[in-house]
């Protein structure tokens, strides 16, 4: 059964009515890690794994949320959402409702059935997928038009302030704006973006180390605080800078004495990574893959040695991938500390790559990895409109 029909059937079984169904995808980042909150550049693509939401309005002011994955429900009162999560999965949709209402989008009470297939804790943005899909659904159910960039920013705000993870804008943005067959080159300062067609012969192969990554555990927020501290210190010599986006590699080299060794290396990662993002986008612009391998390898090394967000399993996975036939480039992807690698692989050799990497990783680490062969997919969308929710047409 297709997923929308499955969500409709489950919604009916749970809440007894029809529903409209929305979908928002997870993402994989091709290059540009931790650059988003430094107002730099990123190059992610939305992927085929999504969070699906069935929604129908209610007469009262409640949100009745039900997770099909966990088989668990939770209710929230739209007039009393609080302003802080409690570590529960429902923090994401409730946080989004909180952020939307605080930004001047009054919501209606609604029943929501939520079901996702984005692997959890794998660094593929299951959080952005639940935020954007429920945000899109709640806005639509309350009759608001969708401004995708605003929705992305408000979902980010929910995650920053309600959930407590100080993430950048990349995941929510690409979940909203993703385009099939394309990665998005996003300028995280201006939020201008360009859809970059991926070379036709390339498949996105995502290798899950099976080491769970958890953004709330602190390391992510520590990296962000380190970047802010570096900007404060560098400002003594470079008063015009606002973020690491404004600093060149010559400038950090010249002002190295202002930074501890750790802060210097953090800056070196961000500054060199911004350049690599632009170089990769430039290659894709010309439909090329020559040089990709070196850029992705340099990105991985920079994350491993300078930003220190890799782990043994990620390093082993990248090393194994690098030995296979048909690989144009491999690196860890996402926040780090576990999760997945992204591999750009020749379409015709993707399945063989999958089988070989799986066997080699299992031999090295003793765990069977999940390996997904993906394509860049479309961003958030309405999938099914319930007939009873359509506006009445007067004749
Ligand atoms: C997580 C965050 C993003 C970004 C990446 C690292 O996915 O949600 O904002 O910072 O980590 O690039």
Closest residue by CA, ligand 1 atom 5: 335
Q: Average pLDDT per run of 10 along the chain, which is 395 residues long?
A: 91 97 98 98 98 98 98 98 96 98 98 96 95 98 97 98 95 98 98 96 97 75 96 98 98 97 98 98 95 98 98 97 98 96 98 98 98 97 74 42
37 lines ligand 1 (CB under 6 A): yes
Closest CA to 25 of 385, 394, 391, 376: 376
Give the ligand 1 atom nearest the CA of 32. 12
**What spacing in Å lies between the alpha carbon of 218 and ligand 1's midpoint?**
13
Give the ligand 1 atom nearest the CA of 34. 12
- Quick one: pLDDT at residue 387? 61
Task: Give the whole-angstrom CA distance, residue 350 versus residue 221.
Answer: 35
Distances (CA, A) of 210 to 122, 275, 286: 7, 30, 35
Closest residue by CA, ligand 1 atom 11: 335
167 lines ligand 1 (CB under 6 A): yes
**What spacing in Å lies between the alpha carbon of 155 and ligand 1's midpoint?**
14
Mutate to test the pocket of ligand 1, among 30, 45, 130, 335 (most ligand atoms within 8 A of CB): 335
Give the ligand 1 atom nearest the CA of 169. 9
Closest residue by CA, ligand 1 atom 1: 335
170 lines ligand 1 (CB under 6 A): yes
DSSP conformational letter for 150: H
339 lines ligand 1 (CB under 6 A): no
Lookup: tokens for 381? 């969308």
**What spacing in Å lies between the alpha carbon of 251 and ligand 1's midpoint?**
25
Task: Give the whole-angstrom CA distance, residue 29 versus residue 123.
Answer: 10
Catalytic residue, chosen from 171, 187, 261, 306, is 171
**What spacing in Å lies between the alpha carbon of 24 and ligand 1's midpoint?**
17
Sequence length of the chain is: 395
Task: Give the whole-angstrom CA distance, residue 189 versus residue 150.
Answer: 14
168 lines ligand 1 (CB under 6 A): yes
**What spacing in Å lies between the alpha carbon of 170 and ligand 1's midpoint?**
6
Closest CA to 234 of 253, 214, 216, 213: 253
Give the ligand 1 atom nearest the CA of 335. 11
Alpha carbon distance, N-terminus to C-terminus of the chain: 37
Give the ligand 1 atom nearest the CA of 128. 8
Mutate to test the pocket of ligand 1, among 29, 32, 170 (most ligand atoms within 8 A of CB): 170
DSSP conformational letter for 257: G
Give the ligand 1 atom nearest the CA of 168. 9
CA 342, 36, 88, 10 torsion-angle sign: negative
3-state SS assignment for residue 41: strand
Closest residue by CA, ligand 1 atom 9: 168
**What spacing in Å lies between the alpha carbon of 112 and ligand 1's midpoint?**
27
Contact status, residue 36 vs residue 19, Cβ threshold 8 Å? no
**What spacing in Å lies between the alpha carbon of 175 and ligand 1's midpoint?**
13
**What spacing in Å lies between the alpha carbon of 292 and ligand 1's midpoint?**
21
Q: Is-catalytic flag, 306?
A: no
- Quick one: pLDDT at residue 272? 98
């Amino acid at each position: 059964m297709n997923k929308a029909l499955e969500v409709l059937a489950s919604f009916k079984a749970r809440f007894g009515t029809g529903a409209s169904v929305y979908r928002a995808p997870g993402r994989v980042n091709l290059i540009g890690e931790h650059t988003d909150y430094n107002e730099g550049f990123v190059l992610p693509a939305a992927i085929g794994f999504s969070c699906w939401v069935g929604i129908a309005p209610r007469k009262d002011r409640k949100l009745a949320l039900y997770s099909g994955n966990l088989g668990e429900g939770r209710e929230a009162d739209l007039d009393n959402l609080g302003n802080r999560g409690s570590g529960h999965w429902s923090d994401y949709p409730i946080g989004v409702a909180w952020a939307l209402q605080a930004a001047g989008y009054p919501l209606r009470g609604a029943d929501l059935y939520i079901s996702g297939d984005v692997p959890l804790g794998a660094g593929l943005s299951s959080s952005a997928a639940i935020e954007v899909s429920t945000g899109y659904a709640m806005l639509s159910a309350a009759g608001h038009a969708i401004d995708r960039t605003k929705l992305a920013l408000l979902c980010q705000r929910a995650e920053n302030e309600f959930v407590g993870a100080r993430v950048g804008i990349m995941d929510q943005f690409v979940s909203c704006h993703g385009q099939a067959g394309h990665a998005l080159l996003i300028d995280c300062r201006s939020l201008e973006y360009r859809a970059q067609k991926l070379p036709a012969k390339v498949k996105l192969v995502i290798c899950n180390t099976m080491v769970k990554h958890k953004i709330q555990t602190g390391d992510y927020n520590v990296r962000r605080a380190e970047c802010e501290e570096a900007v404060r210190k560098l400002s003594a010599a470079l008063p015009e800078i606002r973020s690491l986006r404004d600093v060149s590699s010559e400038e950090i080299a010249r002002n190295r004495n202002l930074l501890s060794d750790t802060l210097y290396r953090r800056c070196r990662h961000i500054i060199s990574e911004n350049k690599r993002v632009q170089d990769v986008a430039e290659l894709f612009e010309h439909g090329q893959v020559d040089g990709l391998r070196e850029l992705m390898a340099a990105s991985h090394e920079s994350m491993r040695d300078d930003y220190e967000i890799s782990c043994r399993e990620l390093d082993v996975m990248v090393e194994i991938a690098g030995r296979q036939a048909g690989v144009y480039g491999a690196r860890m992807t996402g926040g780090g500390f576990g999760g997945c690698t992204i591999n750009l692989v020749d379409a015709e050799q993707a399945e063989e790559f999958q089988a070989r990497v799986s066997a080699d990783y299992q031999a090295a680490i003793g765990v069977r990895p999940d390996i997904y062969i993906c394509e860049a997919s479309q961003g958030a969308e309405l999938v099914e409109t319930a007939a009873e929710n359509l506006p009445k047409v007067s004749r």
